[in-house]
Structures are given as structure tokens and as C-alpha cells.
Amino acid sequence: MPLVAETYFSTDLGQLIIGKTEEVLSNNIDVLKGKFDLIITSPPFPLNAKKKYGNLTGDKYKDWFTSLAPLFSDLLSPTGSLVIEIGNSWEPDRPVQSLLHLESLLGFVKNSDADLRLIQEFICYNPSRLPSPAQWVTVNRIRTVDSYTHVWWMAKSDYPKADNSKVLRPYSKSMLQLLKKQKYNAGKRPSEHNISANGFFKNHGGSIAHNLFEVEQIEHNREVRLPHNVLSFSNTSSNDVFSQKCREEGIVPHPARMSGGLISFFVDFLTNKGDLILDPFAGSNTTGYIAEMMNRRWFSIEISEDYAYQSTLRFK
């Protein structure tokens, strides 16, 4: 699509733009308005300390984050979805969790110029995350490890395009045995649910996905049952091809990469082949890479040319 922007590189399905997200999208709103079936991103988190990849702090972050809502809403198709991953933050020099991420969510969803609503919240748990906040976990040892991020699914319709039959989890061993035996204890449960005599006899190809994602296995003696389509690599993997390429070139990878498995789940869940996906804070462009593999059109924006170059390593 013809845009007023600098294309860093492109494929038959997508393009990576260098620039500041707000400026790129605002300057091309006439071309892009209503075009995206999915906006999925992991923006700079609402931290109370500056990071190398750039982030605002405190009220400035909340105001900035809230101001994005009308712009993203305009970009969505009528049945499109917006998925944002965001982490917790802590009060400066205090062992107290900040409310900044929650205030930012409320400001974003309640922005009267956006007409958005929160469809569902997901939790992405990663047992390999380094202990944080370090001062209160490993030094003073008075708090537990902050080991998960929030994933907020929003839309401007109560019924955005979605199909959970495309993101089924593998059946548990006990469920597979039940399907084989075609027999189980039906009737009323203590929860007052009344289980029908044949309600679990039909094989649907898997069970409905949960809104908790294990980026890595929680218990070694328990099989992880992520949806079939979720790519089985961790956000902290040191042995994937991308990480190897970065090491070969002496490059430090983007420190806050979104899990490819998480992205692939929402791409399958909320879009169809050929749909258009936007990542406005692309970093090393995991979103574009996953979209390309899953035959979706994609459009990514990254302000740092160094991180944009890392994106080319993914596609190599």
C-alpha cells in the first residue's frame, strides 16, 4: 500500500516501517483507516525506570497510552481485535506494586473517543523470567517473583471475529481414555452443574483453550497442553535461529520480545488467512515473522533502526 513513510524492508505479504508510531499512523490514516483485522503488540511497559528500548514513566506513560486508543480504534475493521501485552510495574524505591498498568488500561478502554471494550484478559506465565523486582526479591527477599504479564483483548464490537475451535488444546490423557471408553460418571456435581449422560462423548479434536498461557512448562511431571498452533519456544530461548544469528553478528537481541507462541495463538484465533495485522511497536518484528509464516498480511512499525535490522535476521 502506498504510504507516507520509510519502508525498511518488505516481503510479498508485509512491510516494516521505520518511524514513530503515532506519526506514521496519523500521517497515513486515510489509507489505513478500518483496514486491520488484528492489532497485536507489546508496547513499552509502564515502568518507573527508563529502559534502553524507550519508555515513558508515571502519569506521562498513562496519558500517552490512553491517547493511543482513538487512533487504534480508527485503524480496526468493524470486527477487528486489539491485543496488548503489558507487564506489572512497581513504585520507585518501594516494595509496592504500582497501579499504573491498571490505570492505563482503564484510561485506554474508557477513552470516550475510541468506543472500545475489554473482551477478555489473558495471563502469560513464564517461569524463566529473571527474579523481579530484584531489590525486593533477591536482595531483601520480601516479595515473590513477578513471573507473568497481562494480555488484554479489546475490540470496538461486542462480537469481534473469533473462533476458539481453531485454537484447541490437545486432550488430556484422561479425556482420551474417556472418549475411548465412552463411559463416565454423569449427573449432578457439588457445584450444582448437571453433567449429561453423553455430553463428553463427542471428539471435537481438542479442548477449549484457557486464558492462561504457559510459555514454559510449569510442572515437569505434567504435560503442557497449549493449543495446537502455539509455537513451542520460550520468549527466553537462547538456541533459536534468531538468537544464533544475533550472536554470530555480535548483536544484543531486543530485551522485551513478545512470545511467538502467544502471537500465533491470537493470529489463528482472531484472523483468517489473508487478513491484515498491525504491530505498532514491532521491536525485532516477531509479529511480522509469525504473520508471514501463517500467510497473513502484516504491517509493522519500529522507531529504532537497530531493532529493525534484527527483524531482517528473522526473515533470513
**pLDDT by 10s per residue, the chain, length 316:** 667 778 999 999 999 999 999 999 999 999 999 999 999 999 987 755 555 545 566 788 899 999 999 999 999 999 999 999 998 888 888 999 999 999 999 999 999 999 999 999 999 888 777 888 899 999 999 999 998 899 999 999 999 999 999 998 877 666 666 666 666 655 566 766 666 556 565 666 677 888 988 766 555 555 555 665 454 444 445 457 777 887 877 777 766 678 888 899 999 999 999 999 999 999 889 999 999 999 999 999 999 898 888 888 888 7
C-alpha cell at 70: 482513538
Measured between alpha carbons, how far is 138 from 280 in angstroms, rounded to an integer?
A: 34
Kind and range of the H or E element at 277?
Answer: strand 276-279
> How many residues are listed for the chain in this entry?
316
* Residue 160, pLDDT score: 98
Q: Tell me which architecture the domain covering 6-168+210-315 has in CATH.
A: 3-Layer(aba) Sandwich (3.40)
CB 305 within 8 A of CB 18: yes
* Residue 49, pLDDT score: 53
What Cα–Cα distance (Å) separates residue 78 from each residue in 39, 71, 82, 114? 13, 14, 12, 13
* Residue 195, pLDDT score: 63
| Nearest in space to 1 (alpha carbons), one of 28, 37, 22, 38 | 28
Measured between alpha carbons, how far is 267 from 277 in angstroms, rounded to an integer?
A: 8
* Residue 39, pLDDT score: 98
CB 116 within 8 A of CB 108: yes
* Residue 111, pLDDT score: 97
C-alpha cell at 202: 463427542
In the chain, domain spans: 6-168+210-315, 171-205
CB 31 within 8 A of CB 8: no
* Residue 47, pLDDT score: 55
Count Cβ atoms below 10 Å from residue 91 Cβ, excluding itself.
Answer: 14
